[in-house]
Amino acid sequence: MNILISSGIYPPDIGGPAQYARNLYETWKSQGHNVKVAAYRWERAFPPVVRHILFFLKIIRKGYKADMILVLDTWSAAVPTMCACMLMRKKYILRTGGDALWESYVERTGDLVLFKDFYPATLKKLSLKEKMMFNWGGASLRHASAIIFSTNWQKSIFEKAYSLNSAKNYVVENYYGPRMEPTQPEERVFVAAGRTLKLKNIDILRSAFTKAKIELQRRGLPDVSLDMGRAIHDGFLDKMHRAYAVILVSISEMSPNMIAEAIQVGTPFIMTKENGITDRVGKTAVLVDPTNEADIVSKIVWLSDPKNRASQAAAIRGFNFTHSWSDIAKEIEAVNGTARK
């Protein structure tokens, strides 16, 4: 096939869609497909609207011969791709990652609204830009020949919020790699997400960690430290591999790659209960209420006990599910085949 991957970001950019695009590109290329990627590069130097028009032209240039066009967001890449496909009379598949609208609202306002509550509670509070994102992003979803979600949780929320036709919506889970041999941690370090977005709940995490350290001292348990440093993807994976634990207390997470990677490297983790993968990861997760600092403190203290860490590490060793990039590529091709009928 001739395949075009449309993505707002691509390596060396850091982020889930960038990794998704690169791995699918390499997978399909290795299978003999003709694959092109359209991502924002020099277009970023231009103001909004202009950069979107330039991206629209890039889609037409790269996609006019495409048999399959896969879009990896619902806004910056999706809207220009939708317009280009309407002009070219081509179908496209849209794969959601996070939710740019929800992230934008939380970052702008500091209102830590849970994702499941966002659409019912805040649509009347959106800025002009955010209203445009809702309207145009919704149009890109409704005009897609198929929509791929990584979890049923996000799928059900989006179907209601954007009045989507459930018959053309599918779930293709994220990548779960083969298990690496776990290592004994070099230090008692909890690794947290490197991005400092407000939805990552950083202030509560820092406060909870300070209180947890005091409680550990009171109980006579060894001290722990928090690492929130950023790193390129491969370096971050290595950091998690050597860590005592991974912690992710975001107000909500759709299908966090960070947790799938923690499982891959065998490192125990604490994760927000507001997520779409609890049914998948099961007992490997130590879940916390992201709105309850006391709960976060208690779970940090609990996992800081070596006995409890050992039990969680054993649970992760028993997690046998894998989902390769070849599996993902095959499932997307199947969706494309159905959508083209």
Q: What is the mean pLDDT of each run of 10 residues along the chain (341 residues)?
A: 94 85 97 96 93 96 96 95 97 94 96 96 94 96 97 97 96 95 88 84 95 95 88 75 95 94 96 97 96 98 96 95 97 91 71
Distance CA 24, CA 30 (A): 10
Please give the pLDDT value at position 16: 82
What pLDDT, on a 0 to 100 scale, did the predictor assign at position 299? 98
Q: How many CB atoms lie within 10 A of CB 215?
A: 14
Tell me if 112 sits within 8 A of 79, measured CB to CB: no
| pLDDT value at residue 232 | 62
Q: Which domains does the chain have, with CATH numbers?
A: 2-175+323-339 (3.40.50.2000), 189-317 (3.40.50.2000)
Residue 190 structure tokens: 């909890």
The encoded tokens of residue 30 equal: 């290795």
Cα distances (angstroms) measured from residue 290 to each of 109, 206, 227: 18, 13, 19
Place of tokens 């053309």: 168
Residue 32: left if φ>0, alpha if ψ -120 to 50, beta else—which one?
Answer: left
> What's residue 228's pLDDT?
86
> pTM for the complete prediction?
0.92
> Are the C-beta atoms of residues 226 and 209 closer than 8 Å to each other?
yes
